[in-house]
């Protein structure tokens, strides 16, 4: 009797679990699309690398330059440069054969990307000028197999990245193409026709997902019209219900000019979005190591690149407020991640190697920044031992004394400094606040640079 009951209960539970999984079917509307829980891997990852690479990497002249040339606009600096260096009838398309990628070694890239501590990569597969970095069937003579590299750039990186443990592969894709005649004719019809979406945008998205199993679809180029023209919810319902990545994929919010910062998976809002306060929904700060450009820029000076202090600061402020950081590099037309980007990425990995406990899989704490000290950002982790609170301190404390306003401590509270084996002294304030006294530390026993993480346990808040 009792055995039967157990068996029946087990069957019932099994059936239930099955029902739940089978019955979740997303409808092509935002309420249903938004109801899908974001797969956990995304929030836990915290750090991704964005890669802007394409025909624009050939002129590598300035950030927005290649659009202007294509549009025939007369930007004075660009016109002078072109007149001095190219024949008069040279067009943007003429750069494509020079997108040679002869030094592109995807395994070498994957080594650098993995060494950065990032947990996902987002590669530009097609930017607004429509050139696809994979042999798309719907981008005839304007793709990386037909002109330029004669290689499947996306496929090579997807394979190389997936050889690494714990790092996901994502694809950036521009919905629109500024100069595609099909797009322009739909636009001239007030977006009542969808020829471009039918012939180009959707087939490309299906190719990317089916061929490369994108873990992230980072959509862009949405802003001239609404999600209705793009058939965004129809595509996302397919992606979430039927695609080969339906359980693991995450998407952003750039699916129409009325959608950004409101609907989708995680919210990107604007480029370099970093609100500095806790957000209700999962969001991502996409930004660049070269302050002035997404693509490679031959004229960049050392000063134009973020320092490691800048990078640890943006990691701290982003992650504390519930965001992920998607940090961008621009490889060269011949396929190299130049040493300045490689160094920043490897150094970021060095910092995360010691301090990752405060970052990966962390949760925002009750305070994001300190109430007293500036340049201090908090994260937290729950474990069976209770909650640990991490104060990421961007400037080494004056006289080795750190005074914080937010933590509430008792005599049972403890503090340590990540990467340092010795002990520190914690003095609870009256009411809230703590004072941490750091002993004199030799540079030989403690090599952490750029930002420091103090870990508190047994706090009262
Ligand atoms: C967009 O979705 C609507 C509604 O399902 C459908 O009738 C239309 O054919 C789709 N358009 C494209 C280009 O797929
Ligand atoms: C903490 O952040 C808030 C909101 O951005 C800001 O107003 C405040 O000045 C910051 N506190 C300190 C001590 O910097
Ligand atoms: C819990 O605390 C013990 C003793 O300090 C430590 O060894 C262990 O790693 C901690 N567990 C977690 C999940 O933090």
Query: Is residue 271 very low, low, confident or very high in pLDDT (cuts 50, 70, 90)?
Result: very high
Question: For ligand 2, what atom is nearest to the CA of residue 405?
Answer: 13
Reported as a single tens digit per residue, the pLDDT across 383-394 is: 998 999 999 999
Tens digits of residue pLDDT in 61-73 = 765 555 555 555 5
Instruction: Among 306, 331, 358, give the residue marking a domain's end.
Output: 358
Q: Are residues 269 and 394 in the same domain?
A: no
Least reliable range by pLDDT among 17-21, 45-49, 196-200, 362-366? 17-21
Average pLDDT, stretch 74-86? 75
Query: Are 145 and 63 in the same domain?
Result: yes
Kindly give the number of the ligand 3 atom that is closest to the alpha carbon of 381.
Answer: 14
Residue 92 pLDDT: 84
385 lines ligand 3 (CB under 6 A): yes
Distance 385 CA to ligand 3 centre (A): 6
Residue 377's nearest CA partner among 399, 394, 362 is 394
Residue 370 Cβ contacting ligand 2 at under 6 Å: yes
Mean pLDDT of all residues in 45-49: 98
Q: Are 249 and 383 found together in one domain?
A: no
pTM of the model: 0.93
Question: Which residue's alpha carbon is at the smallest distance from atom 2 of ligand 2?
Answer: 369
**Range of the structural domain that residue 452 is part of:** 376-457
Q: Where are the alpha helices (DSSP H) in 165-270?
A: 181-188, 195-196, 202-212, 227-230, 232-241
**pLDDT tops 70 at residue 288:** yes
**The pLDDT of residue 73:** 58
Residues 121 and 187 placed together within one structural domain of the fold: yes
The CA distances from residue 371 to 381, 404, 405, 433, in Å, are: 20, 7, 5, 9
Same structural domain, 174 and 299: yes
Dist. CA 297–CA 300, nearest whole Å: 6
332 and 399 together in one domain: no
Q: Is residue 24 part of a domain?
A: no
Q: Are residues 350 and 386 part of one domain? A: no
- The burial class, CB within 10 Å (0-12 / 13-18 / 19+), for 319 is buried
- As a whole number, mean pLDDT of residues 329-338 equals 98
Q: Is residue 449 a part of any domain in this protein?
A: yes
354 with 380, same domain: the answer is: no
Please work out whether the CB of residue 215 comes within 6 Å of at least one atom of ligand 2.
Answer: no
Ligand 3 test: best mutation among 356, 383, 416, most atoms within 8 Å of CB?
383
Task: Fill in the DSSP letter of residue 413.
Answer: -
Q: Which atom of ligand 3 is nearest to the CA of 388?
A: 14
Calculate how far, in angstroms, residue 170's C-alpha sits from the geometric centre of ligand 1. 25
Query: Tokens 């509270």 belong to which residue?
Result: 413
CA of 47 to the centre of ligand 1 (A): 35
* 3 state SS of 402: strand
Q: What is the atom index within ligand 1 of the atom nearest the CA of 198?
A: 13
| Residues 37, 321, 415, 407, Cα dihedral to 10° | -110
Q: Give kind and range of the element (H or E) at residue 352.
A: helix 339-355
- Burial, 291: exposed, middle or buried (Cβ in 10 Å; 0-12, 13-18, 19+)? middle
Looking at ligand 1, which atom is closest to the CA of residue 231? Answer: 1
Q: Are residues 180 and 139 in the same domain?
A: yes
| Number of other residues whose CB lies within 10 A of the CB of residue 98 | 13
What's the whole-number mean pLDDT along residues 357-379? 98
Q: Are residues 350 and 424 in the same domain?
A: no
For residue 294, give the CATH number of its domain: 3.20.20.80
Strand spans (E) along 22-91: 47-51
Judge whether 3 lies within some domain. Answer: no
Which residues in 99-132 are b (16+ Cβ under 10 Å) and which e?
Answer: bebeebebeebbbbbbbbbbbbbbbbbbbbbbbb
Provide the domain count of the chain: 2
Specify the residue with its C-alpha closest to ligand 3, atom 7. 385
In a domain, 25, yes or no: no
Same domain, 266 and 382: no
Nearest CA among 113, 143, 115, 131 for reference residue 50: 113
Q: Give pLDDT, residue 431.
A: 86
Average pLDDT over residues 146-162: 98
Q: Choose one of 297, 325, 358: the last residue of a domain.
A: 358
Ligand 1 neighbour 197 (Cβ under 6 A): yes
User: Which of the 8 DSSP states describes residue 106?
Assistant: H
Three-state helix/strand/coil letters over 123-149: EEEECCCCCECCCCCCCCCCECCCCCC
pLDDT attached to residue 88? 85
Q: Name which residue sits closest to atom 12 of ligand 2, judged by CA.
A: 374
pLDDT of res. 4? 47
The answer to whether residues 327 and 222 belong to one domain is yes
The verdict on residue 58 lying in a domain is yes
Give the Cα separation of 333 and 361 in Å (integer): 36
Summarised one tens digit per residue, pLDDT across range 445-456 is 999 999 999 999
The alpha carbon of 421 and the centre of ligand 1 are apart by a number of angstroms equal to 61
Domain-embedded: residue 326? yes
Residue 405 sits in a domain of what CATH number?
2.60.40.1180
């Amino acid at each position: 009797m009792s055995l039967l009951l157990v068996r029946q209960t087990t069957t019932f539970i099994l059936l239930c679990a099955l029902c739940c999984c089978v019955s979740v079917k997303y409808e092509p509307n935002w309420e249903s699309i938004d109801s899908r829980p974001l797969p956990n891997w995304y929030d836990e990852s915290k750090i991704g690398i964005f890669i802007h690479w394409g025909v624009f990497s050939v002129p590598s002249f300035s950030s927005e330059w290649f659009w202007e040339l294509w549009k025939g606009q007369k930007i004075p600096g660009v016109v002078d440069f072109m007149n001095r260096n190219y024949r008069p009838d040279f067009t943007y398309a003429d750069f494509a054969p020079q997108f040679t990628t002869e030094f592109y070694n995807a395994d070498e890239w994957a080594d650098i990307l993995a060494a950065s501590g990032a947990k996902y990569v987002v590669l530009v597969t097609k930017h607004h000028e429509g050139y696809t970095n994979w042999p798309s069937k719907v981008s005839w003579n304007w793709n990386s197999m037909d002109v330029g590299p004669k290689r499947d750039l996306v496929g090579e990186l997807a394979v190389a990245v997936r050889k690494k443990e714990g790092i996901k592969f994502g694809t950036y894709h521009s919905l629109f193409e500024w100069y595609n005649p099909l797009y322009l004719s739909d636009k001239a019809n007030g977006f009542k026709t969808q020829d471009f979406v039918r012939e180009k945008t959707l087939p490309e998205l299906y190719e990317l997902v089916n061929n490369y199993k994108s873990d992230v679809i980072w959509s862009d180029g949405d802003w001239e019209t609404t999600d209705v023209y793009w058939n965004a919810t129809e595509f996302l319902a397919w992606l979430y219900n039927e695609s080969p990545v339906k359980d693991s994929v995450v998407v952003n919010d750039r699916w129409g000019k009325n959608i950004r910062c409101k609907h989708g998976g995680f919210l990107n809002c604007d480029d370099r979005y970093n609100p500095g306060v806790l957000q209700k929904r999962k969001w991502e700060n996409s930004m660049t190591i070269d302050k002035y450009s997404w693509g490679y820029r031959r004229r960049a000076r050392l000063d134009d690149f973020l320092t490691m202090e800048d990078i640890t600061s943006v990691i701290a402020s982003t992650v504390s407020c519930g965001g992920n950081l998607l940090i961008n590099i621009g490889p060269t037309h011949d396929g190299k991640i130049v040493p300045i980007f490689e160094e920043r990425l490897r150094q970021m990995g060095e910092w995360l190697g010691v301090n990752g406990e405060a970052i990966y899989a962390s949760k925002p704490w009750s305070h994001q920044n300190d109430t007293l000290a500036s340049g201090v950002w908090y994260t937290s982790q729950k474990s069976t031992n209770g909650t640990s609170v991490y104060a990421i301190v961007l400037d080494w404390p004056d006289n080795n004394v750190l005074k914080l306003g937010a933590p509430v401590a008792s005599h049972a509270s403890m503090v340590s400094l990540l990467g340092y084996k010795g002990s520190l002294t914690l003095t609870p304030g009256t009411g809230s606040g703590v004072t941490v006294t750091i002993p004199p530390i030799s540079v030989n026993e403690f090599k952490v640079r750029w930002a420091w993480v103090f870990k508190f346990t047994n706090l009262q808040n």
